[in-house]
Amino acid sequence: MDRTEKREFVAELNQALSATSMIVVTRNAGLTVAEATELRRRMRASGSTFKVAKNRLTNLALEGTPFDGIRPLLKGPTALAWSTDPVAVAKTAVEFAKTNEKFVLVGGALGSQTLNADGIKALAELPSLDELRARLVGMISTPATRIAGVLQAPAGQLARVFGAYAKKDESEAAAA
CA distances from 48 to 17, 88, 135 (A): 12, 7, 23
Give residue 31's pLDDT: 85
Residue 155 pLDDT:
65
Predicted pLDDT of residue 41: 93
Nearest Cα residue to 66 out of 21, 35, 34, 96: 21
In one-letter notation, the amino acid at residue 134 is: A
Residues whose CB is less than 8 angstroms from the CB of residue 82 and which lie 6 or more positions away in sequence, other chains included: 16, 17, 20, 22, 23, 24, 48, 49, 89
Calculate ∠ Cα 29-25-75, nearest 5°.
60
Cα–Cα dist 94/80, whole Å: 13
The confidence score (pLDDT) of residue 16 equals 87
Supply the pLDDT for residue 53: 86
For position 170, what pLDDT does the model report?
Answer: 77
Average pLDDT of adjacent 10-residue blocks, the chain of 176 residues = 86 87 87 90 90 89 85 88 86 90 88 86 80 78 67 67 76 74
- Model confidence, pTM: 0.69
Q: How far apart are CA 47 and CA 10, in angstroms?
A: 22
